Structures are given as C-alpha cells and as structure tokens.
Structure 1
Amino acid sequence: MTILILILGFLFGAALQYASLNRYNVISGMATLENLTVAKAIAMAIGVGVILINLEIGLGLAAYHVKPFLLGGIVLGGLIFGTGMAILGYCPGTLAISLGEGSLDALTGIIGGLLGGLVYTLMVPSIEPILGPNMGSISLFSLAGHQPVLFYVLLFTVGAAFIGAAFGVHKLEKTTDKRWIVAGIALAVLNAIVFSGMTFNRPIGASTTYPYLADLLTRSTANAYFEKIQGSGSWELIFLAGAVLSGLVLSLLRKDFKLTLIHENWKKHKGTSAPKRIIWAFAGGFVMIFGARMAGGCTSGHVVSGGMQLAVSSLVFAVFVFAGLLVTGKLFYKMKR
C-alpha cells in the first residue's frame, strides 16, 4: 500500500502543478486578490467532490470522516492558518510540491512548520481549554435528519452552487486559462479514491505530517498527542513524499527546475533581500502549521476534503482561513518596502 500512497501523492502534486496551484506567486496572489486561481479550483473541487463522495458513501463504498466542530480551534486556528499561509505563500501540501521544484523558501517554510508542529505537540495540553467547546461532528447529512430525499436535493443544489461560484469568479477575473477546472476535478476524483473503503477509507490531508515528523526527529513521541496523530501522520508523510517526487520529476521533464528563493510576487511587494524572505518564510511556516493543528486540519484535509463532506467545521474553517489570508495579504503585502 505504500507504493499506492506514493502514486496518489504524485498525482496530487501533478494536479496542482498543472494549474500552478502550488506556486508562491499564485497563492500569495490570492492573498492580495491579484490571482483567484486557488479560490476557483477549491470551489470546483468541492462542488464536484460533494456529489462524488456523498454518492460513494450513499452506495456503501465509503464512510464520512467529519472533523468535530471545536469552536475555538476552528475560529482561532483558521485565522492563524490564513495569516501564515499569506505570509508564506504556500499551504502544507504545496510546500512539498514546490520543494521538489527547487523553491528554497518552501524548504524554509517546511523547517518553520516542523518547529510549529513540535511546539504545538508540547503546548497542546495547556491550550486545550481554548480549543473548545466541542459542538460535535456536524454535516449536511446530520442536519438533514437522515432524510434521503431532502439530503440529495440539498446535496446536488449545494454542489451545483459551488461549481457555479467557480465559474462566476472566473468570469469576473476575465482570464482565458481554464486549467483550474481540470485541477479541481482531479482533486475531487483523488479524494473519492482515497475515501473508498477499497483503498484507505480516509480523507486526503497534509498538515499532520509536520508534528508527526518533528516529534520523530526530536524523539518527542511519549505523549498523548503523538499517539493520536501517528496513524495519519505516517500516511501523510508518504503521501507528501510522493508530492515532492512529483514536483522534482515533472519540473525536470518541463526543464524548469530551478533553485529559487525570491519569487516575482515577493520581489514586487517586499524586495530582493534573501535574509528577509528566509525569516518571513520560516515564520509563516511556523504560524501556519500551528494554526492547522489547532483546527485539526489544513487546506487539503479540512477545506477541500471536509468541504466535500459539507462538514460545518470545515466550511466555517474555510471562512476564517480566507479572512486571515485576505486581511494579512492587505496589511503585509501592501506595506512599503
């Protein structure tokens, strides 16, 4: 099964690379509303995935994996995650892909993320009170009262609304590039494969890798949090290894592999100082992973995978992630050099 996880990670990386969704310029462009590719692809992935995954579950081929609605963790974690993501210009999964392509700021962000994961492991017993209250695992399925007709009417309506929103944003953006459609559909299909009871019976995720690997490297494994995450962490570590490999192999095939620290969008807003970029990438990675662990997931594991299940925790998390992303983008990237 390890080979299959690597292959799926490779395909995950390939899908994101196809629409440049892993690139610093694209994600930081979302933070400044100069590039809406990320928003369109996520909306498309959720819209298609809502239908695919819920039909899969309805046929008994998969099961729900709805994350609990920990109010404090979702709200505060979402804001913190969005802040780190804006500054860093990557999310936990795209860091791995861009590392494979030669992005040195992604490597710096990974190091910061590992430290953030380790610090969260050490702090979680003391901050648990602010993560609650736990409002349960709420989704459209549970809210519909297990009434099949009502559920599927709402399901297809919401799925169509997400897809319509993706095309609406595309129309506003006035660009001809439609690779985000393919990437969004590919993410939905990949999630359906991973959700299947015949494969892994779990959602795609990435952020658990960071505390898992950091705890292993520092031998900080004798704690309840590591015991809780080690199953998901080991799976996601292999998955992201496939994503790194995808970034490396495909960039070599495209002949655009290049060791890069200062990307164009950073240069445009923040200048060309290498130490400045290293410090902010490290800080962004730290903050982003700490926020992800507070909320119990990230862009792939919460926003996309959870959004496809129409989980209330994941949809609320997405709102606060984008709030943190956009506010930080406005304040951080609009400052004078």
Structure 2
Amino acid sequence: MEIRILIFGFLFGGILQYASLNKYNVISGLATLDNYTVAKAIAVALGVGAILLNIEIGLGMASFHIKPLVLGGILLGGLIFGSGMAILGYCPGTLAVSLGEGSIDAFVGIIGGLLGGFVFTILLPFIKGIIGPNLGAISLNSLMGTGLLFFILVFIIGGVFVYIAFWLNKKEGKRDYKWLYAGIALAVLNVVIFSNMVSNRPIGASTSFPYLADYLSGFMDNSYFQKIQKPGNWEAVFLGGAFLAGLFFSLLNGSFKFTLIHENWKKYKGISSFSRVVWAFVGGFILIFGARMAGGCTSGHILSGGMQLSISSLIFAVFTFLGLVVTGKLFYKKNKR
C-alpha cells in the first residue's frame, strides 16, 4: 500500500516539477502578480477535474470527500495560509519537491512548518471558538443533488475555470503550455486517487506536518493526533514520493543545486542569507498553521476540494488568494541597494 502511495507522490512531484509549479520564483511571482503559471495550472485542474471527478462519482466509482465549512477556520486560515505562501514562496506539497532539488529555504520552511503544526496541536483546544462555527459539508451536489441540471452546471463551471486559465495566459502573452498539460495531469491523478478501487481519498499535504511533528516529539496522546494519524501518515508517504521526484529529475537533467537565495528574493529582499532563513522559517510556520486552521492546503483544499465543487474549498481559495496578493504587495518591495 505504501509503495503505491509513494508512486502517486512521485507522479505528483514530477508533474509539479515539469511545469515549474514548485519553484520559489514562480509562486512568489504569483504573489506579486508577475507570474500566473500556478493560477493557470490550478484553474485547468479544477475545470477538467470537476468534470471528470463528478462523472466518476456519478457512476459510483468514487465518493465525495467534502471538507466542512468551518467558517472562522476557512476565512482566517485562508488569509494566514496565503500570507505564509507569499513569504515562503512554497505550498506544503511543493516544499518536498523543491527540497529534492536542493532548495535550502524549502528545508527551513519545512522546519518552520513542523513547528507550526506542533503549536497548532497544542493551541487547538483553546482556539476552537475562533475556528467555528461548523456549517457542515456543503457542495454543489449537496445543494442540488445528482441530476441533469447538476451535470450541466458542472460542465459550465468546469469550462469557466479552463477559460480563466487561457484568459490569464493571453494576458501574460506566453506560448509555453506546460501549465496546461500539468493541470490536466493533476486532475487525472486526483481522479485516479479518488477512485474506490485505488485510495478512496483526495490528495493532500499539510496534515503530514502536525502528524510528523507530534510523532517525532512523542506528543501523540491527544485527540487531534488520533484524528489525523491515518491521513497524516498517508500524506507523509505521499510527500516522500514528491521529494524523490524532485531529487530524481533534478539529478537527471542536471538542475540539482543547493540554493538559498533565489532570483525573486534577491530582486526584492537582497542577498542576506540570514534574512532568507528567518523569513523562510516564519513563512513555513504561518503556512502550516493557517492550513490546519482551515483543514487543508493548496492540494487538499483548493485542488481536491475545488474539483468536488466544495463551498468551503472555493471560499478558502478566494481568501488564500487575498492573503497571498495583499502580503505580496506589502512584503515584496524592490531592493533599492
């Protein structure tokens, strides 16, 4: 079973790496609205994935796994997650791939994320009031039921997402379509993993951080660890596969390199290694803390949840983008030296 999860993670990492979706320069470029590669790939994955996944579920070959609309956690968690994503320049899933490529700041971000997950475990009993209320698992399907009108809307919404991706690409004026192929591949991979005959679950990444932090520290005698133990282990193995993909393909194409200061960081923040280490750690901490408040991240919430047309996931995506762009505007100011 774990070998299969590892393979899925390897494929996931390979897809991200193929279109440079894991790169610091690409993700931070989205925060400054200079690079739409990630947004285009996610939009395509949501559009294609929503159609394929809902057909798969309609045929009885998979099940919905809707994250509940826990209002405070979704709104605040989304803003915090987006802020951490802007500062760090990685998502929970892309951290593993970039670590495999030799990115030192990704390693620092992982350490910060582990601490963020551990602190969240400790604070959860005290912040449950902020995270709530829980309005339940709401999706287009739960609101409409499975019928002809539902599938018509799924195709329309899916088409709109794909249109947005091409609109953004036209705005950029780029002729590279790796984002398109990667988006389709991510959708197909998720549909396969969703299958009742394969894993009967969505992909995800951020649950592995509190799981590993609690496990490594021995802090396992708590209700949160018991809740996340199974998905956390699955995601840890999955990210292990993503790391191996980053390592394998970067060694194969000769791009492996230990890197701390990336071009975008140098452009806006200078060349101080100390500054990058501090902010990578802080960004990782914020990223995972926000993800756990919301109950998911880019892969588990926005991608997997969005494909299910989950209301909580779509709202999370909006607030993540707000947190990402606002933080990008405030944090990334051109270095005057």
1:48 is matched by which residue type in structure 2?
Answer: V
- Counterpart Cα distance in 1 of 2:183 and 2:226: 33
- Counterpart Cα distance in 1 of 2:325 and 2:335: 17
* Residue correspondence of structure 1 range 245-324 to structure 2 within 5 A: 245-324=244-323
| 3-state SS of paired residue (1:268) | helix
**Aligned pair count?**
336
1:14 aligns with 2:46: no
1:159 is matched by which residue type in structure 2?
Answer: G
Q: CA deviation at 1:142?
A: 1.1
Structure 1 runs of 4+ off > 3 angstroms?
none
TM-score, normalising length: structure 2: 0.99
Q: Which residue of 2 aligns with 1:99?
A: 99
Q: Which residue of 1 aligns with 2:135?
A: 135
- Counterpart Cα distance in 1 of 2:67 and 2:174: 35
* Residue correspondence of structure 1 range 315-334 to structure 2 within 5 A: 315-334=314-333
- Counterpart Cα distance in 2 of 1:185 and 1:267: 33
- Counterpart Cα distance in 2 of 1:333 and 1:177: 26
Q: CA deviation at 1:143?
A: 1.4
- Counterpart Cα distance in 2 of 1:335 and 1:227: 45
2:118 is matched by which residue type in structure 1?
Answer: L
Unmatched tracts of structure 2, length 5 or more: none
Q: CA deviation at 1:136?
A: 0.9
Q: Which residue of 2 aligns with 1:83?
A: 83
1:61 is matched by which residue type in structure 2?
Answer: M
The answer (yes or no) to whether the contact 2:93–2:299 under 8 Å persists in 1 is yes
Q: CA deviation at 1:149?
A: 1.0
Q: CA deviation at 1:150?
A: 1.1
Q: CA deviation at 1:336?
A: 4.6
Unmatched tracts of structure 1, length 5 or more: none
CA RMSD of aligned residues (A): 0.7
- Counterpart Cα distance in 1 of 2:71 and 2:6: 34
Q: Which residue of 1 aligns with 2:35?
A: 35
* Residue correspondence of structure 1 range 206-225 to structure 2 within 5 A: 206-225=205-224
2:194 is matched by which residue type in structure 1?
Answer: F
| 3-state SS of paired residue (1:212) | helix
| 3-state SS of paired residue (1:90) | coil
Q: Which residue of 1 aligns with 2:165?
A: 166
Q: Which residue of 2 aligns with 1:186?
A: 185
Q: Which residue of 1 aligns with 2:119?
A: 119
Q: Percent identity?
A: 66
- Counterpart Cα distance in 2 of 1:147 and 1:248: 43
Q: Which residue of 1 aligns with 2:62?
A: 62
Change (3 A) 1:271 1:219: same
1:226 is matched by which residue type in structure 2?
Answer: F
Q: Which residue of 2 aligns with 1:199?
A: 198
- Counterpart Cα distance in 2 of 1:163 and 1:174: 17
- Counterpart Cα distance in 2 of 1:37 and 1:241: 24
Q: CA deviation at 1:334?
A: 1.8
- Counterpart Cα distance in 1 of 2:112 and 2:118: 10
The answer (yes or no) to whether the contact 2:58–2:146 under 8 Å persists in 1 is no
